[in-house]
Amino acid sequence: MRKNLIGLAIATTLIVGCAYQAPYGTPEATSQLVRDLSLEGAPELVVPASWMSVPYGVAKPAEPKQGLLVSERGGLRLVVFDNKRYRQAGELLSPEVQCSYIWRGEQDTMPVHLFEAERYYALSPGETIGAINVKLRAQVVRYLQSQNISLLTVRDGLFVRETGNWSSNVPLQNNYAPWDIGVPLPRGELEAFNPCKH
């Protein structure tokens, strides 16, 4: 259960590791970001983060990516920093983003999940992979709310369910244990589903 719980239910438990390298938050970094991404002006939100993209179903191990969450009308851009340039690695925009899951609310230490038709994304705001910065996370949640993206919490139910099988092929991350979550989760193999329409 522990292996499935962490590997899938959160599909987000990112291994604590390297510190973030891309510049952000200075006038020079903002100017370059605007230039490199051809933005119309300075974005409202620029937050360092790591993220994973996960298809629905039983989780397979996934490697987190690290970069910046950059606001744009209707959602967020996923931005990486390569060869001293900012490059867009993806977009999470409404209406493709059907809803978000914020666990216990704005102030929490769990990743923020965004759900599309075929997959979901786990976003972990912070400068180090796997170490969530609660203040930066709250900024992301408030921004999603301002864009009218529906925010679900544990009161709305979970986005994982039991498959009826037992599996031990999803590795347990060393930095989390099931009781750290503070939310009762099912036992056995778990699969993720889109909670936006349930």
Q: Which domains are present in the chain?
A: 2-162+185-192 (2.30.29.30)
Q: Is the pLDDT of residue 147 over 60?
A: yes
Q: What is the pTM of this model?
A: 0.81
Q: Of 10-19, 72-81, 129-138, 169-178, give the lowest mean pLDDT range.
A: 169-178
pLDDT in tens, 39-61: 999 999 999 999 999 999 987 77
CB atoms within 10 A of CB 67: 24
